Amino acid sequence: MEVGVSRREFLRMAVGAALSACAGFGRPAWAQKRPVVLDFYTLFHSGDAAAMEMIVRKFNAEHRDVQINLLQGQWAEYYAQLFAAVGAGNAPHIGICHTSRVMDVYRALTPLEESRAGNLLEMARIRGSEYTRSVWDAGVYQGKRYLVPLDSHMWGLWYNKDLFRQAGLDPDRPPETREEFERACEAIRSRTGRMAFHPCEDALPRKVRRAWEILFWGQGGELLTPDGRRAAFNDERGLRALDYLVALSRRGWHQPGTDGFKLFAAGQVGMLLAGNWYLPTAKGSGVNFGFHYVPKFFDRPVTWGDSHNLVIPRQRPERTSNEVLVEAIRTIKWINENSHLWGIHGGHIPAYLPAQRSRELLESDSWRLALRKFSEMANRGWVHYPVIHPKAPQIHAAIEPAVQEAYNLRMSPREALARAEAEVNRVLAS
């Protein structure tokens, strides 16, 4: 790879700088065009925030007429703040929305194909064929498109190659079926004395729910009835999934309530189900790790996943002109075109196919270590989104305590699912 700046590039930059300086002198100060400032509010933090900051810095360095003002915060309050900002008439020009939240957040967003400035997607040449199909299709609600996908993020199987070797397992052949998985668990437990498997990251309630959902969705189950009016998970599939999750502990392969993030980074667990955001931590831990698809526990391989999407929150005409809306969508396009950086530094899988296939990403360590297999899961349609419903947060909150109590071996799976079902139905009825 060529290093540094070529003579031609240097001359081009030098001439460009000189011309810019001359142009500045040739016009009075009041005639200088001020750059359009786009407020971009995200819900990213730690590694994600650092990666997005890098991208925005690159944008601001490459553009003179448009500048991004980036503000990043915690995801838990992000949507409430977004609603408040839209209601108060000072919404950011660009925001982030999870695919799973479109159904209750759409009222705060601009429909991109029928904005007051026209079809913004056409203006920026944003075409669905250039995005991962399943991610793109999920960005429409009630016939209107609100979301431009940025990434896929999902869970996968991280494993410790050294522990595999100690257990007599091939470190380059991680398990893909339930039988292989159980054989690996037993080998790790009996021959290394370490925890064989951790199914749910740091074991927060929402992580335990996701682990159960992976097992449940793999049997073709869905949380709600098709009309979204009743819970549909308290059946033999839901019970089998929760029984299996609980059995992991009863067989001595897992200890509930422990933090898989820390244990894996400390070399104390053989296999971990965790998201792609774990990549920077895994790389920095010093553990000799590998990554693979989620095993096929039941009928078909499935993993939990969601997507970050770039959105334009609703703007007031008196504050935001049509020209600014156009600049916002062009900026969104630019971010997509550079989302290989989001993959390399943030550990996410770009939803924009040209970025996903860029040489820079394909040759990166991130791609080789993990992102390639994450990407394959996404393109194979193995990613299952969270329930998409206006009351999704409350539905999740109704399920999590009960599932967690079963996972902690303090409530039978049957009772847990019955409790969760009753509460979900109460939420849906209110």
Site residues (CB under 8 A) for other proteins? Answer: 76-77, 79-80, 83-84, 86-88, 104, 107-108, 203-205, 256-259, 262-263, 268, 391, 393-394, 397, 401-402, 404-405, 408, 410, 423, 430
Q: Which is nearer to other proteins, 294 or 411 (CB)?
A: 411
Q: Which residue has the tokens 């847990």?
A: 416
Supply the minimum distance, in Å, between the C-beta of residue 186 and other proteins.
Answer: 23
Calpha distance 256→176 (Å, rounded): 23
Report which residue type is found at 224.
L
Q: Which is nearer to other proteins, 165 or 426 (CB)?
A: 426
Supply the minimum distance, in Å, between the C-beta of residue 104 and other proteins.
Answer: 7
Query: Which residues does 379 contact at the CB level (< 8 Å), separation at least 6?
Result: 132
Q: Where does 127-227 show beta strands of DSSP type E?
A: 140-141, 144-145, 148-149, 151-160, 195-198
Tokens representing 208 are 């335990």
Supply the minimum distance, in Å, between the C-beta of residue 87 and other proteins.
Answer: 4
Find, among 65, 61, 58, the residue nearest to 38 by Cα. 65
Supply the minimum distance, in Å, between the C-beta of residue 381 and other proteins.
Answer: 30
Supply the minimum distance, in Å, between the C-beta of residue 83 and other proteins.
Answer: 5
Calpha distance 405→390 (Å, rounded): 26
Q: Which is nearer to other proteins, 106 or 216 (CB)?
A: 106
Supply the minimum distance, in Å, between the C-beta of residue 206 and other proteins.
Answer: 9
Q: Which is nearer to other proteins, 71 or 76 (CB)?
A: 76
Q: Which is nearer to other proteins, 86 or 282 (CB)?
A: 86
Our CA dihedral for 49, 198, 155, 238, rounded to 10 degrees, sits at -130
Q: Which is nearer to other proteins, 54 or 422 (CB)?
A: 422
Supply the minimum distance, in Å, between the C-beta of residue 210 and other proteins.
Answer: 15
Calpha distance 97→149 (Å, rounded): 9
Q: Which is nearer to other proteins, 98 or 330 (CB)?
A: 98
Burial code (b: 16+ CB inside 10 Å, e: under 16) for 320-350 equals beeebbbbbbbbbbbbbebbbbbbbbbbbbb
Q: Which is nearer to other proteins, 309 or 404 (CB)?
A: 404
Calpha distance 268→140 (Å, rounded): 43
Calpha distance 150→57 (Å, rounded): 18
Query: Which residues does 119 contact at the CB level (< 8 Å), separation at least 6?
Result: 112, 113
Supply the minimum distance, in Å, between the C-beta of residue 335 and other proteins.
Answer: 26
Strands 303-306 and 151-160: antiparallel
**CA separation, residue 246 to residues 197, 212, 258 (Å):** 12, 10, 14
Q: Which is nearer to other proteins, 123 or 397 (CB)?
A: 397
Tokens representing 279 are 């990549």
Supply the minimum distance, in Å, between the C-beta of residue 81 and other proteins.
Answer: 8
Rg of the chain's alpha carbons, rounded to an integer? 24
